[in-house]
Structure 1
Amino acid sequence: MKGKSASTRDDYLFSDQIGHLLRRVYQRHTALFQQFIPDSQLTAAQFVVLCSVRDNGASSLVDLVKSTVIDQATVRGVVDRLKQRELVQVDHDQQDRRKVVINLTPAGHELVRQMEPFAKQITEGTFGKLNPAERLALVFLLKKMLENDTGPADAGQGVARAP
């Protein structure tokens, strides 16, 4: 509203808030992913799941939820689509037949290997004009913000609440 006083506007500018700024950076990152990744069928969530399985080895759905911080329903859909493309193999755990174990197929390993240079370009583009020291500081601070974070339930921890 144009009728608000300057002091009220200065108290809270949404455009200066961390959530808004993070969302804008994430939107840029997503646009860069779509621009640079040559496999038009590969989504950012699928790439993250592939990288997680590559880095951690055989993984359950729960393992993938924890490592990627993507909700279980979405991870299940991502794994199903990757399985359809024969990028992952899904087997039942030998000890617990209700549990599935996801592994990369040779095609999955190859796709991740091929996409890594593009992923590095995306990271470079996301950092924008930050110099090496600023990049290091940003990553350090983001990791610090996430220390001891176990997910959405922790979102309000340490935040003062109105009575």
Structure 2
Amino acid sequence: MPAINDTSDAAAPIALDSLPGHSIRRLQQIAVAIFLQEAEPHGVTPVQYATMQALANAPGVDQRSLARSIGFDTSTIASVIDRLQARGLVQRDLDPSDRRVRLLSLTGTGHALLSEVVPAMLRAQERMLQPLPPDERAQFLRMLNQLVTANNALSRAPSEG
């Protein structure tokens, strides 16, 4: 890989697969494709799954806190919640202490769908890691989480989780 600060020949060819950002973007595309293949019968996207799981983990959370917990901007999460609410999976209730705030929770239908999606999500995770030898998977996840944690503040939507 060329030195990051080396600008001596900006027109020199650079192999894209030598760039971590390119590989991370490609891996994210692959991860989404695998998730969608596994979860297709349930009609749930990775973002919708993360939203539903976060609501199951912390029922009655407000939209801003939900967005921060999963690293999404508030406008993106609003449209995700709208779609989940339209499907009868999420409900919004007034916060008794602040009527401007809506508290979010899964409906009974939302909990049932989440239970159905979890096995598909777990299969997707296994498929994503399958190319790695089993003894290297934990190391990969540790390193991946180290990069995410160290660079979290640079995100357009930093996570609090």
State the TM-score bracket (shorter-chain normalisation).
Answer: 0.7 to 0.9
- 8 Å contact 2:93–2:102 — kept in the other structure? yes
Q: What SS does structure 2 have at the residue aligned with 1:39? A: helix
Matching residue of 2:24: 22
State the AA in 1 paired with 2:133.
N
Selected match of 1:92 from 76, 91, 94 = 94
Matching residue of 2:149: 147
Displacement of 1:147 = 2.4
Displacement of 1:67 = 1.3
Task: Give the paired residue count.
Answer: 147
C-alpha separation in 1, matches of 2:157 and 2:90: 32
Q: What SS does structure 2 have at the residue aligned with 1:70? A: coil
Aligned-residue sequence identity (percent) comes to: 27
Answer 1 or 2: which has greater strand percent.
2
Where does structure 1 differ by over 4 angstroms across 4 or more consecutive aligned residues?
none
Displacement of 1:142 = 1.3
- 8 Å contact 2:73–2:156 — kept in the other structure? no
State the AA in 1 paired with 2:116.
Q
User: Which is bigger in relative contact order (C-alpha 8 A, separation at least 6)?
Assistant: 2
**More deviation in 124-133 or 90-99?**
124-133
Matching residue of 1:47: 49
> What is the TM-score with the length of structure 2 in the denominator?
0.82
